[in-house]
Structure 1
């Protein structure tokens, strides 16, 4: 791919010193899938560096559980600032006990360290609804980059484990028709004591946290806190356990900025629905493309989750909130685990651009689209696994 040059008049950071604001900086074009077809992003070929706190802030969200509106509003303001700047932030004091994440992490390692034959008992090809195990060389989230160097165990929303659902009989038919749940993947992992228990407990904790965060997002958009309540009764709340074996780090002879042509643990992409809550281990590898087109590391911070805005939330905020491109490259030399929880509206719901996100004289950039149609559009565009892409 040919290299072009971009004059950058603002200060860019590196690991050692600030780059000159007058030097021409080479760029490349990054291709990736979107809900509207392939898109390109201009990427600076500056060295990968760690994000500083002003770029990916740490937000103390203890206030979202407060009875005082002022405390909840303060958190909402911080979320709005992060969502409009980069679309990524860390959260601490989130209410999920460390033993919940520790147990899920331990169960995750136990599963992935098994032999391929045992793991393939849970192979997703045997599932009706895309639950279960995806082996090595079976995922390519960005069709313009390498096959993902990862294995995954994933699970879609199951109302039987939702603490807010009293019984399946209470689910209205117009919602129930979108719910797809099964026991195949749990039966196939029954050889691991407490695997299901640990994973479901983690998922339930994230579900409770996500619903609380939705209230904060509503406040951040100058809406009543319960504005989205009816849209998250049976949400599109899926999760994945990702196992990333180490990949070779770029050698000293590798041309700066060309590492996007090499192996990726998970390719460059944006997420589908409202937001993602991510737990990651201490080995690092998560990279975020900032607003200046520079790759930065979202380093692990103990006791926190990473939260990032997804595409549907960007749509309904008329691009006020940013769904940011990210990827992972595990150069740690160790196995890496991440546990993302993906949260969105019920699949039977739809939402257009919010009135509070349209200024006087401004046009709505997007038509209303159902969550089911949006997710299907994104999934078809992204999950291409053949090596010929």
Structure 2
């Protein structure tokens, strides 16, 4: 049940009319405790939406008892009026749940510039409706996950059980603008483990750094990205921090993979791994450079194993390597060895959706992986008409 798999939480997702589709578009998740410890990471985009600005301040004390999310309007670049909308959303949530506004995180997703009087009225009405429908059953969990979707084709859910029986559950939304710094789109993770803010913060940052921060579908970073982790402590279990972090990484990795697989218009899910690097940073830099090459992404869309585009992208980085020592393997076929052609490219089968690219720098022992997608006609069409 994702965010309701852990004890101590209630949630709901309702139709507030923000979307023109008539689908659920406001979600509330509540932590009933006994603990209210929380942590969150946000987009590193300097142009941040009003909910991000609010939530950064709200989480500063390391606690959060509720999170309110809406889809259908980003409430970004909507001026002071937009910030007041976020503030009123937190205030109304707090009033209904007998909390302080600073106990409430707020998230929005949708079109930048959307957030007028109608948006405000529907958002606030949606909060009231969601609080009235709060539950802890599977239907409530499903409705909550549905209420945060925009161009997604389905909900993204994950959960794990840790040593002793504590649970971590999460839900995510995201199908475009997947190139974050610390977070990807909107993600809510809950746990009934009993951990303080500092431990949650360390675990969350460790997890997002190797999962959500490694999803780079289209090189475009959102203004609204938020990953929030709330701990109710309801299991009474205080897990080993390393073990908890490991479980949290698994939850985040599964959600990140689902984000990749639902990327707008994609026909190939591409896993790019760079090995033999002098540092993890070098490995990630090379993999990310390839993932952001439109020439490479277009080639994969056309089922063309053009490994020259991989090398060209790697060469734009500052990573340590000798250009004439690079190896490239695509879907198990080493098409380039020591900077020269090797196995025939016609042996590479690019018909399957899952695509792997392995780059060996022969410069060290480190590696790093980036998840991306191909560049398709459908992606261009969907984003050419996003605001119309």
- Please classify the TM superposition score into its range, dividing by the shorter chain length: under 0.3
Higher relative contact order (CA 8 A, sep 6+): 1
TM-score (norm 2): 0.23
Per the normalisation by structure 1, the TM-score is 0.23
Flag the structure with higher helix content. Answer: 2
